[in-house]
Amino acid sequence: MTTTASAVRFSDRLPAPVRDETAQVSRLLGELQGRVDWSAVFATGTPWVDAVRRQPAPFWAMESVLREYPISSAEGLALMRLAEALLRVPDTETALALTADQLGRADFSGHAADGQAHPMLSGLASQAIHLSKKLLPEDGDAPNGGGLLQRLGAKTVVAATVRAIQLLGRQFVLGQSIGEALTRADANRRANQPGAALIRHSFDMLGEGARTDADALHYGRAYADAIRAIASKGRPARPEDGDGISIKLSALDARYEPAQFATVAERLMPRLLDLVNAAAAANINLTIDAEESERLELSLVVLDLLAAHVAATFPQWQGLGLAVQAYQTRAPEVIDEVTAIARRHGLRFMVRLVKGAYWDGEIKRAQELGLAGYPVWTDKRHTDLSYLACAQRLLAAPEIYPQFATHNAGTIAAILEMAKAHGTPFELQRLHGMGEGIYREVMRRPDAPPLRIYAPVGEHRDLLAYLVRRLLENGANSSFVHQLADEAVTPQMLLASPLRAPSRSVLPMPLQLFGAARANSKGVDLAAERERLPLLASLAVPMPAAPNDASVQGAAAAMDALHAAQRGWNATPLTERCAVLLRAADALERRTSEFAGLLAQEGGKTLGDAVAEIREAVDFCRYYAEQAAARLAPQTLPGPTGERNELRLHGRGVFVCISPWNFPLAIFAGQVVAALVAGNTVAAKPAEQTPRVAQRFVELLLEAGLPRAALALVCGPGETVGAALVAHRRCAGVCFTGSTQVAKAINRTLAQSDGPIVPLIAETGGLNAMLVDSSALPEQVVDAVVQSAFRSAGQRCSALRLLCLHESVADKVLEMVAGAMAELVCGDPANAAQSWAVDVGPVIDAEAHAGLSRHIARLEREARLIARTPLPERLAGTHIAPVAFELKSIGELREELFGPVLHVVRWRGAVDALVDEVNALGYGLTLGVHTRIDDRAVRIAERARVGNVYVNRNMIGAVVGVQPFGGEGLSGTGPKAGGPHYLYRFCGEQTVTVNTAAAGGNATLLAGGLN
């Protein structure tokens, strides 16, 4: 099968991912006008609610768990955290610490009260948990004392807790193997329950999305085995009549991303076609599960390619399906597009309509990317409304067999009412272990449609992420399942019509994330072709000529001129200085494409890194303008009557700002605008490798109204031009980002000066470590490691250099890291044909390449090679392939380096000793921590001597005003860039005291104190 990246494009037919929510809600309300009689819906759903509350679900069912331990409570949160992590912990010490840490945060002693649904089971469970808290060590780390009895008791309780979580998980996973799942499914059908003959299943093989190709092949085999097992039960007359399978495309290919369509076409499609062929031959249904919004168009491309194949090879098969998420604002148009694909190929699709499972992640992604809005509805009632609009489309489309997946009694009743006008065959769906009470009542109806149970299958260690996601979604205060368990919520409230929901968004838009203080910088959604194409076009624009290097004499002349202009610039009203920064921010934001092209060509930036850097520069401009307005204006200080005291801040003089090549726009801009807004004039020396980016930003500042005399771009070698600027008698301060060695040289020069004491703001490098214990989620760790160590070709100050893995999980994590490294794409970001797909670009120049090559050669002799990313031969002269080595000890890491080289050590024992070893390296910039033991994370952060600590995430990409950035020790002087203390370092201070009573007495006091 031949596929190309341009084979199918949906961008022109689907609307933009982000649209005005208010307008879209109004449109949906118009579509549904007169289509749904909500009084009939209420009349249908109320008896179901009453019946479920009279006869609650079994103790371990979702409704009962939520009634007993709501997720909003400390007890519910503790159980959720234990369920997420405990089963994967291989060593006893960490299991003890995790259990003590989580159970110690809650009080289970009051959960055996009379009147609860299952007082005996509830009481026993609560007493066991309460007892375990007494037996477990109080310290959040491994137990070191308390006697043999305590330790034996603690282990016993942990074992019991593990077993309890396994039992809980069993309620939400149908079987640990497909054979076990099929056996339990048959037993469920044979049970005496309403509508048992109408029950089918859709089996889903549990697991996180693949991080490695080995993972993808494993999941592919699991899917293939499941299809064979289902087929062995007999061939159904129609696909909808029997059990089927759901597959996740991100599990079949580790790079299931829009940017990697070539890989998807070459590697995923053959695997997928094998599964489709097997399902079609057995006449069973195969549904492609939903993914995150940025993969939506890719999934539609894949569906279209599959449809073409099915039409040519199995034209009579009607079992190909797709899950559509109603919480996406484009869901109705997706239904239209899926219908059009089916019609074009002469097929019928099965479409599972779900509300959606990644809402919180979609919200965070939009905020982090600085999108204009959200790709999902911000109000659950809007999702319910969208669901009904999508249902109307599905019921009206003869090319679709609708499958309505929901646990909401109101939505189910509305579907039954809407279906009366169409006569379209359809089915309902629920998750295994959830919604049992409501569907028990629904299936009592004589006209009940078939019910399909979405049934996860997998080992207990694979269920964790799935289980916690289900707990969070259904335990949220706004969820129907949560409210069903709360009898204080009346049926009128529970079954309220979404047709009466307010149309406005309930969340601030991503660009208003920081409220009235400042606008969030506007980003680019590279997954949206409309936004991506202008950036790719910019790569074809030739770079401007580089500015000429200054001579030592020219640098001195620039310093004298800046000194002469400083008094006038400092006298410029603070409001106008701030306004220059704000105008520059707006202008830079408008020219994102232009600067992205320049960063890719001159700095070797990938498109994603270029956009992020432009946004950081915009944020610096706005943040420092906001901070200056709030902090640099004159302040009246308290004092005795008859006296006025005022604190004034002013520029120090001429500031020398020396910036590096790794962030040639963001760091250059941040240094310069901070110094300028404080009232200084600035001599800005960019890195020799990236002068064009600096020159373009200086031009932008001048266009924004900055007086030309206030800023001089002084290019040239650091050892001559840079040294001359620092040593000049007019230098009133230095802001430097670069190597520790150069920072020390600058410090010595300033200290030896005979003139005034000159401040130095230095942000230097680091040997940044990430500490991982055995409670961490391996998939999350691998994502964080690969991003932190290899994004930007490892050329970030904050990049991960030293990965410390607990010995009990080291082998597994390193195997996954090696597999993930094999998936990275090295390439030229400045080449428009490949730019979007590039993960790792070149190192900055030949000198950096040579230094890194020497370091790697030494490691090849002295350390154990873990993995090396394949490097196309054409890139050998400009790229360093991402590589990882295992060291015997932390002490073997002897030098700071800038590049995609990861060092790994294993650790055991007390984590405090490990933190001390990292501190002993002398650097203190960033530290990553991966653990589910909250007390341990707190202790590590308190003990570590670093500027930025990141827990359970990557350790790069600090956001201005959110994660102020900077280190200590060998990593810098502070204050932190992008933080509330930064501007003060650029200022001189003056206090003016005026005796207001000097002219004859205190008139103000006398006027108020005499009769």
User: 98 in helix, strand or coil?
Assistant: helix
Q: What is the rounded distance in angstroms from the CA atom of residue 312 to the CA atom of residue 892? A: 61
Whether 748 contacts 905, CB under 8 Å: no
Instruction: Give the start-end residues of each E strand in 526-662.
Output: 635-637, 643-651, 654-658
Number of continuous H segments (helices) and E segments (strands) in the chain: 36, 25
**Ranges of H-type helices in 728-823:** 740-751, 778-790, 807-822
DSSP strands (E only) in 602-730:
635-637, 643-651, 654-658, 681-685, 711-713
User: For tokens 């031949």, what's the residue?
Assistant: 2
Taking Cα atoms as reference points, which of 343, 307, 311, 344 lies closest to residue 322? 307
CA dist 490 and 100 (Å) reads: 38
Chain position carrying tokens 């963001």: 666
Q: Would residue 978 be called left, alpha or beta, if left means φ above 0 and alpha means ψ between -120 and 50 degrees?
A: left
Length of the chain equals: 1011
Could you tell me the CA-to-CA distances from 962 to 688, 789, 930, 937, 957 in Å, in that order?
A: 30, 22, 20, 20, 11
Bridge partner residues of 771 (DSSP) = 804, 929
The residue to which tokens 């090559």 are assigned: 853
d(CA 330, CA 346): 24
- Active-site annotation holder among 578, 797, 804, 826: 797
Interstrand relation of 987-995 and 643-651 (parallel, antiparallel or unpaired) = antiparallel
Residue 361: Cβ within 10 Å count: 13
Q: Where are the alpha helices (DSSP H) in 314-358?
A: 331-345
- From residue 764, alpha-carbon distances to 738, 740, 767 in Å are 5, 5, 11
Confirm if 394 and 333 have CB atoms less than 8 A apart.
no
Alpha carbon distance 580, 588 (integer Å) = 12
- Collapsing DSSP to helix, strand or coil, 491 comes out as helix
Taking alpha carbons only, the member of 733, 757, 756 closest to residue 651 is: 733
Contact 372, 589 (CB under 8 A): no
| Rounded Cα distance, 659 and 68, in Å | 57
Active site residue 797: yes
Is the bond preceding residue 975 a cis peptide, omega within 30 degrees? yes
Q: Judge whether 202 and 454 are in contact, CB under 8 Å.
A: yes
C-alpha 975, offset from chain centre: 27
- In our burial notation (b when 16+ CB lie closer than 10 A, e otherwise), range 213-230 reads bebbeebbebbbebbebb
Whole-number Cα distances in Å, 549 to 528, 558, 710, 720: 40, 13, 19, 11
What type of residue is 452?
R
Q: How far is residue 478's CA from residue 471's CA, in Å, rounded to a whole number?
A: 13
Contacts of residue 599, Cβ cutoff 8 Å, sequence gap at least 6? 605, 609, 610, 613, 614, 664, 665, 693
Phi, psi for residue 637 in degrees, rounded to 5: -105, 150
Write the CB contacts of 894 (distance below 8 Å, at least 6 apart in sequence): none
Distance separating alpha carbons of residues 361 and 232, to the nearest angstrom:
39
Q: What are the backbone angles phi and psi of residue 544, rounded to the nearest 5°? A: -70, 170
Q: Is residue 763 annotated as a catalytic residue, yes or no?
A: yes
- Which listed residue (602, 763, 823, 896) is catalytic? 763
For the record, the structure tokens of 600 come out as 């890719």
Which residues are identified as catalytic?
763, 797
